[in-house]
Each structure stands twice: as structure tokens, then as C-alpha cells.
A and B are shown apart, each in its own frame.
Chain A
Amino acid sequence: MDKAHRHEELEEEAAKPFGLMGYFLTPGELMHACEKLKNAGYKNFDAQTPFPVHGLEKAMGLPPSKMPWIVLAAGTTGLLSAIALTWFVSIDYPLVISGKPSFSYQAYIPIMFELTVLFSAFGAFFGMWGMNRLPMFYHPSMKHPSFPRATDDAFFVTVEAKDPKYDASKTRKLLEELGAREIVEVTE
């Protein structure tokens, strides 16, 4: 494989489109655009805003979060771990304390409670990182020239190329109709 050919191939790979990006100047316009995209049948689109916009997940039609199940599983694991821990330490290394029976569960309820809470918190914290695929040091949206404004005054919407309804010209037209500014096709 000669050098020029290889370079070409790399460039072709790099030029694969990630999606179309544009932005709005108010949360209301973004909300409206997301509802229209949802109604037009788009599934893989995302919004980036300078602050949390309440109700946006409903406008985008996002499914309910799976976090509660992760937290429930983690909390149950914590409870069972605490029961196992207190059971085995009191059987393996029995100590008579103020004449109480070996496995005095009453005294261990705070441990069971605390481990349930601790594991639930871990589940919520690390579950959030995992589901958001964090830490993420690069994302294609950063290629949009005005993307820094997503932390300031611009409400971005990105329609991803992997969406089955994605069509570079039709999607661009839809975004234009919705009033998006500076519509750019970013690459991966």
C-alpha cells in the first residue's frame, strides 16, 4: 500500500458525516424544533443547551431513564452485602458483647441501611457516568465552528447521520424551515 493511497483512505474515513448541526437563540425555538423532529420521525438527534431546559426530554420523545433500575439493583446488592458481612464476621469471629446473641441483627441494621445507601449512591453516580459514556474527551459536535456558544447563548440541535431518516439535503431543509442558524454538516 503506497503512502498516498493510505492518506486518501484515512481522509475518506475522517470525512464520514456525523450529522447536521444548527442552533437556535431561545429554548422555546429549540423545544419547538425538537418536537417537529420527533414528529417527522427522527430518533437519533440530540440537543445541547447552556442550561437545563425543563420538558426538553418530553419534546424530544426520550424514553424513561433506566437509572432507577440500576440504583435498585445496586441498593439491593448493598443490602445483601451488609447482611453477608455482618453474618460472616459474627460467625467467624464470635465476640460476646453485653451478653447479646452472636448474630444480633438489631445492632447491624445501621450497617445494612448505610451499605444500601452507599451502594445506591455508587450505582447512581457511576451508572450516570457509564450511561453518558463519560469521561469523553472528544465528540464530533465540537467541530461546529460556533459550538463554544453552547455554553453561552446558543441552543444546539444535532441530527445524527445514523438516523434512518437522515438525508443530508432533506434534513438540512427541515432544519432551515425550523429556523436553525449556521447549519453545518460535521464529520466524525
Chain B
Amino acid sequence: MSQAAAMTAGRATGGKAKTDDARKLPKDVGDTLTKAGMGLAVVGVAAAGAGYAMDAKRFAFSYLIGFLFVATIALGGLFFVLVQHLARAGWSVAARRQMEWLAGLLPAVAVLAIPIFLWAHDLYHPWMGPQAATDPILQKKAGYLNPSFFYGRSAFYLVVWVALGLYFMRNSRAQDESGDLKLTEKMQTASAPAMILFALTTTFAAFDWVMSLDPHWYSTIFGVYVFAGCATSSLSVLALITVQLQQRGYFRKVSTVEHRHDIGKLLFGFIVFFAYIGFSQFLLIWYADIPEETIWYHHRWDDAGWAKVSLAIFFGHFLIPFLLLLSRHAKRHGMVLSLGAVIMLVMHYVDLYWLVMPTFDHHFHFSVVDICGLLGPLGIAAFLVARQAAQGPLYPLRDPRLAETVKVDNP
């Protein structure tokens, strides 16, 4: 590391860690974090129960949005871990453990998916209900869109995600203990087929769980659109956790302003990617102007409330964070990067809300039930991430590229 970089790293971390074992959070901090997470989970589950009691039918949709919020963040974490192994990246070693925490949510995602299947007949009523039998369009789609195949596919996605999440998390943790280089090789070899599985399962899960809410409508790019949300939301969470750990001095010299800058660059890139994909979907449908395709946008534009949400996504999910994070100085500045990350997380929820809710509610109105649907899955996810953060090392202790990540520099 050059002297200048070493000095910056020293300033960024400040050496404020209160324990000799700087590789982990101090025990008291970890306990507080776990307790806070536990509190959030209890509040979330209670809120979810209250929401269900208030309006069970609306709550199913609100819960689907909350579930998707957590699932997309977890999948984004898995994607990051896979792509770094695939590229044999050195810089990201200092950021990988946080993304492994997110991928470690996937077993919980599988459990959180159970209510979706219990309420499937409400959520996916247009094609699961009896009227589908007389609908000529749905009759042609029935070979794919039928309940038993739907449940089978969904179970397959969840099994794949749990397996991948646990595989990469456990091997990385095992290397902390043993320092075995073969584990890195194993994960690199597995990352290529895992990436193919990830791409297919995520795309089809987006088709099945979100796009089929409106079963007449289809868009082949839809899976990529949802994936763009996975990437922006998980990188936002990574940015927030990284800045917090750095500013409190728990990262010492492993993760520095240079890593923050790199995470900011990726987040910025995926903000543009999201806009590119979202506009690609819109442009083709707008240009062709075929009623069965444009109906989806009509549901999100004809009502004045939904039109405002649509505009909010353009400004809040693209233009404002784009301008905010354009500069190199913004990406390196902890508070500015965190602000961008918070905006992106809020807008990720708005985006999912915009995808799901218009099929239930043609006139936009935000209900307290929707907040309850988010708090349940979010509280549980916060607890599980906090517990992982409290229990394990903050970075892969014996990764062969650890020395490389410490030297990362953005000229």
C-alpha cells in the first residue's frame, strides 16, 4: 500500500475498535446489535399479524411486496458473491462477507415464501380462479400457468437458492478456520454453473411471482428488470453496512475509502442499468402500442396517484441518485454514499410496490397494512443479518486475496 493510501485508511478507520480481536465486532456491540435485530423482528411479526387482522386480502399483496423486498436483497447478495468468485476478484474480498450475510438470508426467504403459497389463490386469482378455464388466452398458457407446476417451480427456485447461499457462506466460513486454498478453488469452480442457475431461477421467479399477477400481460425482459432491483438494493445495503463498520473503526485497514468508492461505482452502474432495462421494456411497448401490452402501463399511468408513483420511480430510482453519485467525491464520501443507498432502498420498495399493487388496487392509496406487510419480513431479515454480523468475522480472514484487497487503490 502506498503511504498516501495507508494514511487515508488510517483516517477512515481511526483505530477506534474497542477490542483486541479487531476481526470481529466487540461482544457488547454484537449483543446490542442482535437484541436490536430481535426487537425489530418481534415488532415486525406483531405488525404483520395486525396487518393480516385488518385486511387479510390486501395484506396478501402487501406481504408479497415485503417478501420480495427481502428476497431481492438476498438474491443480490448471492449474485455479488457468485460474480466475485467467477471473476476471481481481489478488490471485493473486503466486501464479500457482508454480501454473504445477505445471501445467508436465503433459507429464511424460503420460509417466508410459505405464506405466498398459502395465499396463492388470492394473489394469483386471475389465472388460478375458475374463470381461467373459459379464458382462451389463459387456456393456451395453462401448460405453464397451472397451480401444481407453479408450486413445483417455486419450490425448485427456493431449494436452489438455499443450497447456493449455504454452500458459499459455509465454505467461506470454513476457510476462516482452516485457511485451506482448495476452498477458494472449489467456490470458483462452483460459481460458473451457480451463476447460470441463479440467472434462470431469478428470471422465472420474477415471471411466476410478479408478472403472473397480470396473466394476460407478458414482457420477456421482466426478469432482468427485477434482477436490476436485486443488484441496486443489495449494493445499497452493502454500502450502508460498510460505511457504518468503517466509521465505527471495526474494519481497521481491511476495508477503506477505496472499497467504498468501488461499491459506489457498482451501485452507480446498476442505477444506470436499472434505468436502461426499465426504459427498454417501456419503449418497445409504447412504440408498438398494442392494447394487450400497453394495458400494464395504463394501470400505472391512467390513475393520477399511480402516475405520480411512476414519475417518482423515474426521478427517485434513476435521475436523483444518478446525479448524486456521479462524482468520484460523492462515492468516496461516507455520508453522501449512504444517502444514495437509502434513497435507492426506499425506491426499491416503491418499485416493487408499483409492480405488484396496481393489480389489486387500480386507484393508488397507501395503507398502513402495506407497512405491516413490509415490517414482518424486514424485521426478520434485520435480525438474521445482525446475528451473523455479531457472531462471525467481518471479512474472510484467510482468503488468499486478502493482501490484494488491502492494497486496492483508485488512481
**A68 in contact with B283 given A55-B411, A98-B289 (CB within 8 Å):** no
Q: Are A59 and B283 in contact (CB under 8 A)?
A: no
Partner of B2, one of A58, A99, A110: A58
Chain A residue, CB-CB nearest to B327: A68
A68 to B326, CA, bound (A): 10
Once the chains bind, are B2 and A59 in contact (CB under 8 Å)? yes
Closest 3 CB pairs of A and B: A55-B2, A58-B4, A106-B286
In whole Å, how far is A4's beta carbon from the nearest beta carbon of chain B? 53
Interface membership of B279, Cβ < 8 A: yes
Task: Answer yes or no: B3 CB below 8 A from chain A CBs.
Answer: yes
A96: which B residues are within 8 A, CB to CB?
none
A109 partner, pick from B3, B279, B328, beta carbons under 8 A: B279
- Of B5, B287, B326, B411, the contact of A107 (CB 8 Å cutoff): B287
Q: State in angstroms the CA–CA spacing of A110 and B282 once bound together.
A: 12
Interface of B is mostly: helix
List 13 interface pairs A-B (beta carbons < 8 Å), by A numbering. A31-B2, A35-B3, A55-B409, A55-B411, A58-B2, A68-B327, A98-B287, A98-B289, A99-B289, A106-B282, A106-B286, A109-B279, A110-B283
Give the interface of A toward B (CB within 8 A). 31, 35, 54-55, 57-59, 68, 72, 98-99, 106-107, 109-110
CA distance A109 to B278 in the complex (A): 13
A35–B4 Cα distance when bound, in Å, is 11
Chain B residues with CB under 8 A of A31: 2
Contact of B328 with A68 in the complex, beta carbons under 8 Å: yes
Q: Is the interface of A mostly helix, strand, loop or mixed?
A: helix
Min Cβ gap B37→A in Å is 40
- The answer on a CB contact under 8 Å between B411 and A109 is no
Chain A neighbourhood of B3, CB < 8 A: 35
Whole-angstrom CA separation of A107 from B282 in the bound complex = 10
A109 CA to B2 CA in the complex, in Å?
44
Binary interface encoding of chain B residues 60-98 relative to chain A, with 1 for a CB under 8 A from any of its CBs, else 0: 000000000000000000000000000000000000000
Q: A55-B409, A68-B328, A99-B289 known; 8 other A-B pairs, CB under 8 Å?
A: A31-B2, A35-B3, A54-B409, A58-B5, A58-B411, A98-B289, A106-B283, A106-B287
Residues of A within 8 A of B287 (CB): 98, 106-107
Q: Which residues of B does A touch, CB under 8 Å? A: 2-5, 279, 282-283, 286-287, 289, 326-328, 409, 411
Task: Among A35, A54, A55, A109, point to the contact of B283 (Cβ < 8 A).
Answer: A109
Q: Please measure, in the bound complex, the distance between the C-alpha atom of A59 and the C-alpha atom of B409, giving whole angstroms.
A: 13
Return chain A residues, CB-CB under 8 Å to B411: 54-55, 57-58
Q: How far is the CA of A40 from the CA of B385 in the complex (A)?
A: 51
Interfacial chain A residues near B4, Cβ < 8 Å: 55, 58-59
Q: How far is the CA of A74 from the CA of B100 in the complex (A)?
A: 40
User: In whole angstroms, what is the CA distance A82 to B146 when docked?
Assistant: 48
Looking at B282, B287, B289, B327, the one whose CB has the most chain A CB atoms below 10 A away is B287
Question: Which residues in B have their C-beta under 8 angstroms from that of A59?
Answer: 2, 4
A99–B287 Cα distance when bound, in Å, is 11
CB distance from A171 to the nearest CB of B (A): 23
Give the most central of B3, B279, B409, B411: most A CB within 10 Å: B411
Contacts of B326 in A (CB 8 A): 72
A123 to B367, CA, bound (A): 49
Residue of A nearest to B4 (CB): A58
Distance in Å from the Cβ of B221 to the closest Cβ of chain A? 15
CA distance A99 to B279 in the complex (A): 21
A186 to chain B, nearest CB (A): 28
Determine the distance from Cα of A58 to Cα of B2 in the docked complex, in whole angstroms: 8
A54–B91 Cα gap in the complex (Å)?
Answer: 15
Complexed CA–CA distance, A110 and B2 (Å): 43
Residues of B within 8 A of A109 (CB): 279, 283
Across-interface contacts of A54 in B (CB, < 8 A): 409, 411
Chain A residues, Cβ within 8 Å of B279 = 109
CA gap between A58 and B411 in the complex, in Å: 8
Cβ of B5: which chain A residues have Cβ within 8 Å of it?
55, 58
A99 to B286, CA, bound (A): 12
Which A residues are in CB contact (< 8 Å) with B282? Answer: 106
Set of chain B residues within 8 Å of A57, measured between Cβ atoms: 411
Complex CA gap A31/B5 in Å reads 14
Q: How far is the CA of A110 from the CA of B5 in the complex (A)?
A: 40
Nearest opposing residue in chain A for B283, CB measure: A106
Give the complex CA separation of A102 and B131 in angstroms: 42
- List chain A residues, Cβ under 8 A from B409: 54-55
* Residues on B with beta carbons closer than 8 Å to the beta carbon of A68: 327-328
Q: Which residue of B lies closest to A109 (CB)?
A: B279
In the assembled complex, which residues on chain A have CB atoms less than 8 Å from the CB atom of B327?
A: 68
Report the Cα distance A99→B288, complex, angstroms.
11
- Whole-angstrom CA separation of A106 from B286 in the bound complex: 8
How far, in whole Å, are A57 and B4 apart by their CA atoms in the complex?
A: 11
Which residues from chain A contact B283 at a C-beta distance below 8 Å? 106-107, 109-110
- Kindly state the separation between the CA atoms of A55 and B410 in the bound complex, as whole angstroms: 9
Kindly provide the distance from the CB of A57 to the nearest chain B CB, expressed in whole angstroms. 6
Cα separation A31 to B411 with both chains bound (whole Å): 15
**Nearest CB on A from B406, distance (A):** 14
Query: Can you name the residue of chain A whose Cβ is closest to the Cβ of B276?
Result: A113
* Assembly CA distance A16 to B344 (angstroms): 60
